[in-house]
Amino acid sequence: MSLAELFILAVGLSMDAFAVAVCKGLSLRQVKPSQMALVGLWFGGFQALMPVLGYLLGVRFRDSITAFDHWIAFFLLGLIGVNMIREALSKEKEAQEESASLSPRAMLPLAVATSIDALAVGVSFAFLAVDIVPAVSFIGVVTFLLSAAGVKAGAVFGLRYKSRAELAGGIILILIGVKILLEHLGLLPF
């Protein structure tokens, strides 16, 4: 996986965290750099941890399913992407104000929920033989930066761009899944 592909993947994965960070920024009266860093650490840390867990699971079973691993990567990334697009296009009313708490009790469930898709990506990393340490470090740093920026953006712009960010993230993940499938089927020369 090239650095450009990894960057696109990291941005796609971080869109859920970015959207939640925007909500956090909306709920905070005055955003401080320490609050931006704390939200970034929660989301970036879990976005780095979950692919490692998925990778460890995938490595354990990699040898028995290498003949169809590209289909697994395609399916997982596609499923995650479709789910993100569905959430972005959902007509459900969202609460305008999320809890302003940045306590572990408030942040842990959010960090886990926004990084579940990264667990599935970690499984696909095992099948694609991705060098896991640089990959998850990169994903964690990108998510940290986007989440910290999301807190500030939430305070400035509100929820206006939340669904667009999720939509873009979902489309990116689907396109990466299609690319992986087409490469392994020999339909792309990369």
Is 47 or 23 the better-scoring residue by pLDDT? 47
Is 33 or 127 the better-scoring residue by pLDDT? 33
Sign of CA dihedral 20, 58, 135, 190: negative
Mean pLDDT of 63-92: 71
Q: Residue 98's pLDDT is what?
A: 40
Across the chain, what does the average pLDDT equal? 81
Instruction: Identify which of 171, 174, 142 has the alpha carbon closest to the alpha carbon of residue 21.
Output: 142
Q: Residue 179's pLDDT is what?
A: 78
Please state the pTM of the whole predicted model: 0.69
